[in-house]
Structure 1
């Protein structure tokens, strides 16, 4: 994987295909393989770039200047500058959508079109913020994700009733178990706290271009339920696509539906 040094740390990224650029922003706790079906579907027609979050994949630890999602947006913009990319079509899922929308608001001339998937631009509801912070404290104290927590955290990302013996579920669970103490303490936990203490920017969403923005959400997304997606689509004035048979990581749970929706959107907007 190629690497760019941003804020003093190595940021690894996928760069595959040729054509108009599509930048894919991943979910917290997922590497670039979260987008494997989309990379395969899009790269014959588009140049697909997938940066790894800090502390994820082969990327380095969270850089010291990183204090907010605005910093993640600025760092993604620095990656585009490093690659001499003037304009991109941005597809962000979960935290990828959180920093993706901020990038579009920060530098609208750089974002040709925007897809916000399974994400929310409001503040985290206080009850869930406190719940996630309690999980971070347990992980911090243990220096690992304890075995009982694996089966608390992993199901959050999938639709209810997913086969827990499936490769998708088991591979993700194993990836959580594999994080080193150093990675958890230097990157994963502080990045999580940054994400879940984010500022509410819902009042800025009307500034996004409704004609070139799309909101998508898994019908069974638990952490980012469809009601949040409906609220954002209404504020932006754009359409909403609900993804059947999918939870939070809709790109992996119903990849055929997601691929078709993205290809349709991009052919009209890229």
Structure 2
């Protein structure tokens, strides 16, 4: 898979399939493999591009001077420019939706459709912001994600009744446990502070094209509850879909439902 130099750092991305372009924006702490079921299905009809977040997968470290989700939006547009892609569809989950909404507002002529999944573009509620920042302080101090913190962080991403011995759960836990100190300190923790210290763009949501926007959310998403998804959908005036039997990484907990919903939506757009 190829790399592009953006803001002086190597950005790793997947580029698979042919047809109209679909960009998949990943969740914090996950690499492009989180989209495996959707990549397989969508790439039969579309050109699927999945950039990996800084410090995630094989992407380089967080570029110097980055301090906002607007930077992630701008960097994704820079990747599209390098690939000579004028227009694309954008599906963003979690932080992928946070910067995805900003990109759609900044360059509406380039975003043909937008799917916001398990995400929220308002400010992080103060209690959770302080809580997440305290976790970042602990990770930074220890240079690792120790066992007690893994027991706290990993369950956040899944529905409450997931089997902790399942491959999905265990693989994610092992990935976090193996993150090297340098990557945690240079990229993962500072990016986390950017994500959870974000500014509020809820008032700008009515500026999105409601006919070309879809909001989706796992019915058991804990960090980004369905109430937040409904709030955004009402501000945009767009369709809203609840994903059954799914937590935060809804596309992996109920891949068939999500993939079918995305294919149906994209078909309408093209």
Short-chain TM bin: over 0.9
Q: Distance in 2 between matches of 1:174 and 1:192?
A: 19
- Determine whether 1:2 maps to 2:7: no
Q: Distance in 1 between matches of 2:245 and 2:233?
A: 21
Gaps of 5+ in 2: none
2:74 corresponding residue in structure 1: 74
Tell me, what secondary structure is at the counterpart of 1:109?
Answer: coil
1:232 corresponding residue in structure 2: 232
Aligned residues of 1:124 and 1:197 also touching (Cα < 8 A): yes
Aligned residues of 1:140 and 1:189 also touching (Cα < 8 A): yes
1:192 corresponding residue in structure 2: 192
Tell me, what secondary structure is at the counterpart of 2:235?
Answer: helix
2:138 corresponding residue in structure 1: 138
Q: Report the CA distance between 1:66 and its aligned residue.
A: 1.2
Tell me, what secondary structure is at the counterpart of 2:89?
Answer: strand
Count of residue pairs brought into register by the alignment = 270
1:49 corresponding residue in structure 2: 49
Tell me, what secondary structure is at the counterpart of 2:241?
Answer: strand
1:202 corresponding residue in structure 2: 202
Tell me, what secondary structure is at the counterpart of 2:114?
Answer: strand
Matches within 5 A, 1:1-270: 1-270=1-270
Q: Distance in 2 between matches of 1:86 and 1:251?
A: 27
What TM-score does the superposition give when structure 1 sets the normalisation length? 1.00
Q: Report the CA distance between 1:161 and its aligned residue.
A: 1.0
Q: Report the CA distance between 1:65 and its aligned residue.
A: 2.5
Q: Distance in 2 between matches of 1:87 and 1:65?
A: 28
Q: Distance in 2 between matches of 1:4 and 1:25?
A: 16
Tell me, what secondary structure is at the counterpart of 2:204?
Answer: helix
Q: Report the CA distance between 1:240 and its aligned residue.
A: 0.5
Aligned residues of 1:7 and 1:65 also touching (Cα < 8 A): no
Gaps of 5+ in 1: none
Tell me, what secondary structure is at the counterpart of 2:227?
Answer: helix
Q: Distance in 2 between matches of 1:133 and 1:251?
A: 27
What TM-score does the superposition give when structure 2 sets the normalisation length? 1.00
Runs of 4+ in structure 1 over 6 Å off: none
Q: Report the CA distance between 1:239 and its aligned residue.
A: 1.0
Q: Distance in 2 between matches of 1:20 and 1:93?
A: 20
Q: Distance in 2 between matches of 1:164 and 1:269?
A: 38
Q: Report the CA distance between 1:151 and its aligned residue.
A: 1.0
Q: Distance in 1 between matches of 2:67 and 2:128?
A: 20
Tell me, what secondary structure is at the counterpart of 2:159?
Answer: coil
